[in-house]
Structure 1
Amino acid sequence: MTISEFLIIPAKPEHVIYAETICSEMFESAKARGTGIARRKPEYVANKMIEGKAVIALHKDGRWAGFVYIETWGHGDYVANSGLIVNPEFRKVGLAKAIKKRVFELSREKYPHAKIFGLTTGLAVMKINSELGYEPVTYSELTQDEEFWKGCQSCVNYDILLSKDRKNCMCTAMLWDPVDKERELKEKIQRKAEAKERLERITQKQSLLKRIEAKLWKSAKKFVAVNFHKSKKVVKEF
């Protein structure tokens, strides 16, 4: 089985038939891992599909293979890609990475100026986030929207979050900041331009040195030739 057997697309209203199965799998997966997850109702997931704020993966035979949805906070200043789940039948083929990449692209399309963040206990998700450019941050750098933190109430680790005054918990916070990325891109472009300029200067110096060397060599040959003829003349006169 390969990734080419799957269709990974923004979810549509026609996909709401999968909502209950997806929610059930999210819960069972979290329970099996022994980790917390904010539980979502099928109606919530279905609404994300209807709004076009989700990505679904389907096998070519029509079975659902994976899912993730978009949440927005702070009037769209923050975006989270939540509820990533892969059907157990289709794991180990790279679906999680492909789904995360597609929902990241969808988030950038819909909210180009938003900070994209995530909270996760999964090492695999952390690795994917890191590859997409996310960086580990403190909880204080995430949205402070109360509605977001209310979503953690159904998590088994919610008491830990409260005991730490929402400054820490079992999840690792990761953030993709468009302002930082734009600055990094500008710095990268500037470094390339400076490197190109240095290379051009070095090339120009090398070219100048070659021209000087050629002139010196030509002068030396001329000097040798003149003195050689003079020597011959002196010998002949002698």
Structure 2
Amino acid sequence: MKTIQDRREIAVFSSDEKVSDSYDFIIEEATIKHVFYINDICEETLLSAKARGTGISGRPPELLEKKIKEGEAIIAFTPDGKWAGFAFISSWENGRYVSNSGLIVAPEFRHTGLAKRIKRKTFELSRKKYPEALVFSLTTGLAVMKMNHDLGFEPVTYLELPNDELFWENCKSCINCPILLSKERKNCLCTAMLYDPKKSDANS
């Protein structure tokens, strides 16, 4: 049975988030040794989604464990081992597209600049594992949009996103899904942003 993957980004941090030097976070690619953080991540993701009223469902532990074991996740924690943040990537259409998803920061570590650091690490992981892929993000969060812009993402239409039915299946858990369906999946409240490595190379 396929697990539905939510590929949108939850902006559970302030849009004016500032970097603080008072936190010495460890941010790295997640491995099997980090599996024991999964319950904390799932619980906080669900609580944050409910608090924001986004309609985004909590991610099943099985999905996060799969992402961790496949080397498709970034995790952050404090030097004393306390979980601080997480994000993962997903590929679509045989690696033509890759999404940066599930960005979440523990409440006590928001407003520290951690979200931006995890976002960059997640983007770097996407480029390392799928160097030719189009990297995309769907979000309603201003903070994520700013981070995407800084990384070279550009706003695009929904027609430039994957045509994978499983990809669109994820939207059914969102309270805005009726809007998406009424517009024949051509538009919604989320802003679609895309990073094209070919355009980036041409401009560098």
TM-score by length of 1: 0.75
- Which of 137, 147, 153 is the aligned partner of 2:156? 137
Aligned residues of 2:99 and 2:136 also touching (Cα < 8 A): yes
Work out which of the residue numbers 55, 77, 93 in structure 1 matches 2:112. Answer: 93
Q: What SS does structure 2 have at the residue aligned with 1:99?
A: helix
1:70 to 83, 89, 98: 89
Q: d(CA) in 2 for partners of 1:92 and 1:158?
A: 30
1:29 maps to 2:48: yes
5+ long unaligned stretches in structure 1: 186-238
State the AA in 1 paired with 2:190.
C
Rounded Cα–Cα distance in structure 1 between residues aligned with 2:43 and 2:195: 29
Letter in 2 for 1:36: G
**2:186 aligned with 1:159, yes or no?**
no
C-alpha separation between the residues in 1 aligned to 2:123 and 2:109?
21
Assess if the C-alpha contact under 8 Å between 1:3 and 1:95 holds in 2.
Answer: no
Task: Say whether the 8 Å CA contact 2:74–2:122 is kept in structure 1.
Answer: yes
Shift in CA distance, 41/171, structure 1 to aligned 2, threshold 3 Å: same
Q: For residue 164 of structure 1, report the CA deviation from its aligned partner.
A: 1.3
Unaligned runs of at least 5 residues, structure 2: 1-19
Aligned-pair distance for 1:46? Answer: 1.1
3-state SS of paired residue (2:175) = coil
Offset from partner CA, 1:45-74 (integer Å, 9 cap, x none): 111001110000011111110000010001
Match of 1:84 among 91, 103, 114: 103
Structure with more contact order per residue of length (Cα contacts < 8 Å, sep ≥ 6) = 2
Q: Describe the superposition over 1:158-213 as per-residue Cα deviations: whole angstroms up to 9, x where unpaired.
A: 2221111111111110000011112222xxxxxxxxxxxxxxxxxxxxxxxxxxxx
Report the 3-state secondary structure (helix = DSSP H, G, I; strand = E; otherwise coil) of the residue aligned with 1:8: strand
Identity, % of aligned positions = 58
Report what 1:43 is aligned to: 62
SS of 1:165 mapped into structure 2: coil
Deviation at residue 3 of structure 1 after TM alignment: 6.3
Give the aligned partner of residue 37 of structure 2: 18
Question: Shift of residue 156 of structure 1?
Answer: 2.1
| 1:139-164: CA deviation from partner (whole Å, max 9, x where unpaired) | 00111111111122222222221111
Check 1:132–1:38 CA distance in 2 against 1; reply closer, same or farther (3 A cut).
Answer: farther
* Aligned partner of 1:168 among 177, 183, 187: 187
SS of 1:160's equivalent in the other structure is: helix
Q: How many residues align?
A: 185
SS in 1 for 2:104: strand
- How far the C-alpha of 1:34 sits from its partner, in A, is 2.1
Structure (1/2) with the larger helix percentage:
1
TM-score, with structure 2 as normaliser? 0.87
Higher Rg of the two aligned structures: 1
Partners in 1 of 2:55 and 2:159 — Cα distance? Answer: 20
